[in-house]
Chain A
Amino acid sequence: MIVFNVNGKERRVEVSPDTPLLWVLREKLGLSGSKYGCGEGLCGACTVHIDGLPQRSCITPVGDVQGKRVLTIEGIPENNPVKRAWLDQEVSQCGYCQPGQIMSAVALLEKKPAPTDADIDSAMSGNLCRCGTYGRIRRAIHAASKKTVKRGGQKS
């Protein structure tokens, strides 16, 4: 039995501890917003926060999150400035990578509320987008930053 907290709720799952967190979220907990893209931590589509840090859930064995706090796209409130900026800047195309992009962006802004372009390059270059929405992602992060002078930290 593995017990951990997902989006503020305690969850218990009975799976092999080597099962990647991604597939536990998607198949056992019904949280399919986190996406499978590569299975190797190369594309970032599966990005979630574990104890506040962005991690690739496709290569994180669920056994490693025992007792930890996991935040997924489903746990980001609708009024989060990053989500709002994503809508304002009309970032999404196919949309498949966007939950992972948003999770990386939220983590970046929590660490650096006013990131430079270089900060964005370094924090976001692990998230691939085949549709090429990078320019809009950059704009959206800057726009969200302006509204996020100070965030009270994640509620998870």
Chain B
Amino acid sequence: MSATTNISRRQFMKAGALAGGGPLLACHLPFGMRDAAASGEAVFAPNAFLRIGTDESVTVIVNKSEMGQGVYTSLPMLIAEELCCDWKRVTFQSAPVAPEYNHAQFGPIMVTGGSTSVRSEWERLSLAGAAAREMLISAAAQRWKVAPSACRAENGIVHGPNGKQLSFGKLASEAAKLPVPKVPKLKSGAKKLLGKPLHRLDSPAKINGTAVFGIDVTAPGMLTAVIARPPVFGGKLKSFDAAKALASPGVKQVLAVDAGLAVVADGFWTALKGRELLEIVWDEGEGAQVSTSSMHDQYKALTATPGLVARRDGDAEGVLAKAKQRLEAEYEVPYLAHAPMEPLNCFVDLKEGSCQIRTGSQFQTVDRNAAAGVVGLKPEQVALETTFLGGGFGRRACTGSDYVIEAAQIAKVVKQPVKVIRTREDDMRAGYYRPMWFDRVSACLDEKGLPLAWHHRIVGQSIIAGTPFESAMVKDGIDDTSVEGAANTPYAIPNLQVELHSPRNPVPVLWWRSVGHSHTAFVMESFMDELAHQAGKDPYPYRRSLLAKHPRTLKVLETAAMKSGWGKPLPKGRGRGIAVHESFGSFIAQVAEVSLDKKGVVKVHRVVCAVDCGKIVNPDTIKAQMESGITFGLSAALYGQITLKNGRVEQGNFHDYQLVRMAAMPKVEVHIIDSQEPPGGVGEPGVPPIAPAVANALFAVSGVRMRSLPMTPEKIMTALKKG
């Protein structure tokens, strides 16, 4: 049992009180001991994550943000499996910010990220459910004056000797008086819920329009704000004239905040019209010098100089220097915006001595503390309610808490409930992108054609450098998220060297779904394909021969190849590409089937995906997350790029930052490996393999090797003409 599950009863009660006193999502049922007493309904609150009502309701308090990945179903399933309750009675609520809801592994913060929700909560929630079950059984045993061992729980009912039965609801009050077992025993035998494709508990609200996202939050007297932001990163307000904006109907106030100049109005449209009337002179500073084309040249130059060594096996440099033939390639990927469908927004209601924030956050403790600092309150005086998130992908776990801080700054001045909304353009141009990367890779082969040496230099900004997490997460100058997926490659390469340059510049960067893997998998799996072709070998068995010591990687590779019909003929004009990558504790292989039209447009027809994410909670959620990761990664592979010229972001909306649409969506088949390994993540690992799988398929069908993302028709046509 881990330290995190060793929660005292006092802590449980404290958590209950905090939860009961806070704003609650989804059902808004009162809970917690005090509220329960007031409503005349005794409630069994054995720990911070579970409430059982006399009405048989089972409420699971979820400490993870729901942004599409299904945590409002998967985490309740973990508790319900051990509790042995009636699944039909289970509902969910979002947890308030409290120490009890901190991440089980990431230290004292409440956060949703790193594809950790299920794997980090598995033990804690299973034990929470088991403890509650034992208490309900003990309550029944006391009532019946029999030994607890003579009783069992099933489907929300405790069964005793001679056909005696009592429901959880009828036992709730008595169970609440019993001590919480210190070492609850987990069930043995077959699982009732885990492994079953149960329907999501949050789907009904999401299809009838009642699910409350941050942008939907409202309150009596609420004002709406938009912010005029500097045209370049690091720009500052120099001077402004707000007279015309202030005269615009509905506009209440114009005020300077760190992010720019805020227009506060009685609604979004009036605020936006007011913003258009602002006259602003910006001090652009050095930000105006930034352009991605010059950055590209700088990065490319850096690959000619040694970087910090992230991995060194054997003597890659020495072997390559002596090699008769070496392959060398440069790979590049651009900045990418997360572009969640719900643009960033934040509601703040600041009162004397208290503050309420309602927003879709993945980074609750960090955001709450940042807001507390702005408004001059203690963190405990600030309540943060996590609404539904209209997509997160890492953007709502912002190391700078940008969208929360700006809302708090406005609330401090307007002294009324206020919601800041970003337009799509605001959202897309405000930075915190997936870093732009430039890689140079060299390799040579042995007499069998297998890689003998591999030298890899990576250039790109560190996500962590300059944030409060630097001291904990950057070791000897190396941000692991910059080299993950490359420095720990599973391929058997006797001489391997991975180096890193981490240049700094004013463009804010952040984790973007699958973080470093989003770039390293593209380089590793594309270049591995190049080596296979150089050796005159089929890229699938070529990979197999290098993965003998990695059975899980091997198994997904073989499964994807087999299910895709690897080696069997395809219709004319189609090609297959394969890629495999491990990330976030899960192993994924994908085979893409593509064609190329005369204009250079890549069409992906089919993707076969094999995933080993260890033991599973909900197979349908895993499939959905693989479909999701593939689509997300495909948007980046085919269309996605944020570029800057004279400091200005050149993209702003979905016409110039395109995403996969219905007509471009391939058929996706997901095959889940039956596994009893520890659980891995599923939110992110589906992303990394798709770009290289498509690039490798494009090579197979056309002979064009795309080493630069996105794979635009212009780049492909240029490559075809070069031959």
Contacts and interface: CB of A to CB of B under 8 A. Distances in A.
Interface of A: 16, 19-20, 23, 26-28, 31-40, 42-43, 45, 72-74, 76, 78, 83, 86-87, 90-99, 102, 120-122, 124-138
5 contacts: A36-B215, A45-B341, A98-B206, A128-B661, A131-B391
B653 A134 contact: no
Contact of B207 (A36, A92, A125): A92
A132 B636 CA distance: 13
B663 A128 contact: no
A18 to B, nearest CB: 8
A134 B67 contact: no
B522 interface: no
B406 to A, nearest CB: 18
A41 to B, nearest CB: 10
Contacts of B207: 73, 83, 86-87, 91-92, 95, 98-99, 102
Nearest to A82: B207
B620 A90 contact: yes
The interface residues of chain B, by DSSP majority, are classed as: loop
A95 B388 contact: yes
A125 B209 CA distance: 21
Of the four ranges (under 10, 10 to 19, 20 to 34, 35 or more), the interface on chain B belongs to 35 or more
Given A94-B68, A127-B662, A134-B660, A78 B208 contact: yes
Contact of B200 (A36, A92, A122, A129): A92
A19 B250 CA distance: 12
Interface string B67-89: 11110000000000000000000
Contacts of B341: 35, 37, 43, 45, 94, 96-97, 128-131
Contacts of B662: 120-121, 124-125, 127, 134, 137-138
Contacts of B211: 95
Contacts of A33: 208-210
B624 interface: yes
B268 A83 contact: no
Nearest to A121: B663
Nearest to A87: B203
B577 to A, nearest CB: 19
Contact of B630 (A78, A90, A132): A132
Interface of B: 66-70, 197, 199-200, 202-213, 215-216, 218, 224, 249, 267-270, 339-343, 388-393, 421, 423-424, 620, 624, 627-632, 653-655, 659-663, 665, 667-668
A122 B628 contact: no
Contacts of B68: 93-95, 131
Contacts of B209: 31-34, 72-74, 99
A43 to B, nearest CB: 5
Contacts of B388: 94-96
Contacts of B202: 92, 95
A97 B393 CA distance: 15
A83 B208 contact: yes
A68 B634 CA distance: 40
Contacts of B391: 94, 96, 130-131
A132 B660 contact: yes
A20 B269 CA distance: 8
A72 B423 CA distance: 22
Contact of A38 (B203, B392, B424): B424
A92 to B, nearest CB: 4
A95 B206 contact: yes
B214 to A, nearest CB: 10
Contacts of A87: 199, 203-204, 207
Contacts of B200: 90, 92
A74 B659 CA distance: 27
B208 A132 contact: no
A35 B269 contact: no
Nearest to B633: A132
Given A40-B653, A97-B341, A125-B662, 11 more contacts: A37-B341, A42-B655, A90-B624, A95-B203, A96-B388, A124-B662, A127-B661, A131-B68, A131-B341, A131-B631, A132-B627
Contacts of A94: 66-68, 340-342, 388-392
